[in-house]
Amino acid sequence: MTKCKLEYIWLDGYKPTQSLRGKTKIVEDFSGKLEDCEVWSFDGSSTEQAEGGSSDCLLKPVFVCPDPGRIGDGYIVMCEVLNADKTPHDSNGRATIDDDDNDFWFGFEQEYVLIDIETNKPVGFPSGGYPGPQGPYYCSVGASNAVARDLIEEHLEMCLEAGLNVEGINAEVMMGQWEYQIFSKGAAEAGDQIWVSRYLLERCGEKYGIKIDYHCKPVKGDWNGSGMHANFSNTTLRTCGSREVYEQICQAFQPRVKEHIDVYGADNDQRLTGLHETQRIDEFSYGISDRGASIRIPIATVEKGWKGWLEDRRPASNADPYKVAAEIIRTVKTAGVPA
């Protein structure tokens, strides 16, 4: 018999930003299939998810993949948190997604900043000040501009070995800031893959002694913040061939600014200022190829005859992709266009 290590991971109940938690279950001869992952439990009183007198919360497996960071047979098991009566816990954003037929496809662009735990500044920042202004760091190469590439490449390889659908990586606009992109046909699985990829990134950070900072404005001043741009489509957007339909869907977002901002990440007012490729947090706009708009209509969508996708540029890097996807789906469904 083979002993297998299953790392059950879940989101805690901390506010305004949830964190990942994880613990290991040892099983024999695990098949690697989701249906063979048992429901488990944990002490919710230690994660802001239950009272001490009634502390059991349940872990319902929803996604499983190989764990490339462990020797031997290891798997990562992404879980939803349920109450003891098996109803979704209040902290369970995945359960709010209304996409049973996986008609919605999502591609998330996850930005983050690497923090040197000795200086508490982004990697590459001098201990006594700041690097040169933004400009040379985006998609850069060379020791003076691109930093911590060993960690970045290791994370990419781990994601690929785990079977995650990473579509690319690049250095971002600020020194020490990077991005990767993940796509999935299905909103819930897109969220699953982002959370597993974040977990693997944290594990890489442990190895290198570097903190992963998802705050949307980790450095104040004339520096870009970090976002998690949400690219999305459904059958209508992929096939309609109509500018009018696209504009009708975009306009459906106008009256629901607050509902979106409420789930688009903590401290997003520090990032959505109207500067650094953002629209103001209290305004809404959309436009073709406009990175200063709330929603960008990609030029590729237009060139393909208005068949493609949209990009909501407002979600912050620390947002929960489950909640972001759920709100986008909810708004698109109010647009009143045929599916």
**Mean pLDDT, all residues of the chain:** 96
Burial 103-140 (b: 16+ CB within 10 A, else e): bbbbbbbbbbbbbbeeeebbbbbeeeeebeebebbeeb
Grade residue 52 by pLDDT with cuts at 50, 70 and 90: confident
pLDDT reported for residue 336: 85
More confident residue, 53 or 339: 53
- Residue pair 226/113 in contact by the 8 Å Cβ criterion: yes
Question: For the segment 235-294, what is each residue's pLDDT rounded down to a tens digit?
Answer: 999 999 999 999 999 999 999 999 999 999 999 999 999 998 899 999 999 999 999 999
Q: Does domain 3-92 have CATH number 3.60.20.10?
A: no
pLDDT reported for residue 211: 98
Question: For the segment 100-159, what is each residue's pLDDT rounded down to a tens digit?
Answer: 999 999 999 999 999 999 999 999 999 888 999 999 999 999 999 999 999 999 999 999
pLDDT at residue 339 is higher than 80: no
Question: For the segment 192-206, what is each residue's pLDDT rounded down to a tens digit?
Answer: 999 999 999 999 999
Considering the four listed CATH numbers 3.30.590.10, 3.40.50.300, 3.40.640.10, 1.10.287.890, the one that applies to the domain covering 105-332 is 3.30.590.10
Domain ranges for the chain, please list them.
Answer: 3-92, 105-332
pLDDT at residue 302 is higher than 90: yes
pLDDT reported for residue 127: 84
Grade residue 7 by pLDDT with cuts at 50, 70 and 90: very high
